[in-house]
Amino acid sequence: MNVLVINAGSSSLKFQLLDVDTREVYAKGNCERIGIDGSFVGYESIASGGKRRLEVALPDHKTAVQHAFDIVKETGKDFVGIGHRVVQGGWYFPESKVVTEESLGWVREVAPLAPLHNYAEADVIETCRELFPEIGNVVVADTSFHYNIPERAHRYALPRDVVDRLHIRKYGAHGTSHRYIWRAAKEFLDDDVHKLVSCHLGSGASLCAITDGRDMDTTMGLTPLDGLIMGTRCGTIDPATVCYLQREGGYSVDEVDTMMNKQSGLLAVSAISSDTRDIEEAATRGDERAAMAIEMFAYRTAQLVCGMAQANEGVDTIAFSAGIGENSPTMRAEVARKLAWLGVRIDDEKNALRVDEVREISAPDSAIRVLVVPTNEEYMIALDVAELLG
Ligand code: ADP
């Protein structure tokens, strides 16, 4: 059963056509720099004979969708539906839902919580419905998995009337990835996993506590700014810092927003790059700020692993995933070293291996199992579409 998955960002649109049963990918690509000069579509399909790059004007998301559809059409494969990754599902999507006029309205209604993403995603869904009225669409929100975490974990200790009126709570993000990581770990371990701490460590990073498939807590909050320090995001800081920056620093609301989201994190600490590859290389050359960026990232990841273990009231498995989690043996080793007091031991040889599949990297005497799980959000989205529309 084939499904088209679309992941629209503020200025990009990724797409992938895949077979849910065999996991074969027939086409995938990314429309980049939508609405900006120098736009192009990079793609690869069973019809393209390798990687291709189309230098085309992408004035809006609608044009990008049309290009994506043209590329998909070349494969000659039909599909049963389209799955849309939506960043913020708010209180309307505790699970994935088929798109109707009403549910499309919900994506827009909750958009103030993720304005850079939800409006573009809603426009893309609308375009797909216009262009292909006979094909069903499904919303797969990144927040869904976290919606039913216990109230003690999602409630903010702010006045109840304020919290209720503005729908303030922990929504989290990367839910589709954490859901996939749970599923993949369970499959790999023949069901022998009960208390998992899932670490999605990419340029955006979050951890999630999962007990027997139930989400118990996660590290991102109302928005994806909370929790771990990330490529360019500051993660958790004293909330009073925001007021202080405005009162004493003279920064406007928008300037603080930009600072915390785009100019902070690993980029700010290392003063080199937001990319851990550059930072690791600089640290190897003896750059102290780069070394501190790695130290902070590993320290806070380890600290948050402990927080998530508390949410689970235990931990039998830790899974590393996403760009850093899957590709940086250095960072995995640093985090594991910091958790050695808990009995975490990794096997250096297994940790150094570079293979794109689920694998265990813990040493035989480790008290907690450690896995590397390449995430696959597209597959998880496609599974939801197949279930709802297949
Ligand atoms: P996102 O989807 O949030 O943009 P990814 O999960 O693709 O992020 O992760 C991207 C990040 O992964 C890069 O910014 C980089 O920091 C890190 N990364 C990728 N490959 C490596 C590697 N070989 N070594 C260390 N870090 C890596």
Q: Which of 12, 324, 332 to mutate to test the pocket of ligand 1 (most atoms within 8 A of CB)?
A: 324
For position 390, what pLDDT does the model report?
Answer: 83
Cα(73) to centroid(ligand 1), Å: 31
Q: So what's the architecture of 190-372 in CATH?
A: 2-Layer Sandwich (3.30)
How does residue 9 score in pLDDT terms, banded at 50, 70 and 90?
confident
Task: Provide the 10 A C-beta neighbour count for residue 50.
Answer: 6
Give residue-wise pLDDT tens across range 132-144.
899 999 999 999 9
CA triplet 153, 382, 355: central angle to 5 degrees?
85
Say whether 278 is catalytic: no
Give residue-wise pLDDT tens across range 366-381.
999 999 999 999 999 9
Amino acid at 201: L
Give residue-wise pLDDT tens across range 54-111.
999 999 999 999 999 999 999 999 999 999 999 999 999 999 999 999 999 999 999 9
How does residue 49 score in pLDDT terms, banded at 50, 70 and 90?
confident
| Percent with pLDDT over 70 in the chain | 100
Give residue-wise pLDDT tens across range 278-309.
999 999 999 999 999 999 999 999 999 999 99
Cα(379) to centroid(ligand 1), Å: 20
**How confident is the model over 235-247, as a mean pLDDT?**
98
Q: Whose alpha carbon is nearest atom 7 of ligand 1?
A: 323
Q: Which residues pair with 317 in a beta bridge?
A: 196, 369
Ligand 1 in contact with 324 (CB < 6 A)? yes
pTM: 0.95
Ligand 1 in contact with 375 (CB < 6 A)? no
DSSP 301-364: HHHHHHHHHHHHTS-SEEEEEHHHHHH-HHHHHHHHHHTGGGT--B-HHHHH---SS-EE-B-T
Cα(376) to centroid(ligand 1), Å: 14
Angle subtended by helix axes 276-284 and 329-338, to nearest 10: 80
Catalytic hit among 37, 78, 142, 164: 142
**Structural domain spans, the chain:** 2-141, 190-372
Ligand 1 in contact with 66 (CB < 6 A)? no
For domain 2-141, give the CATH superfamily.
ATPase, nucleotide binding domain (3.30.420.40)
DSSP 174-230: -HHHHHHHHHHHHHHTTT--SEEEEEEESSSEEEEEEETTEEEEES--SSTTSSS--
Ligand 1 in contact with 202 (CB < 6 A)? yes
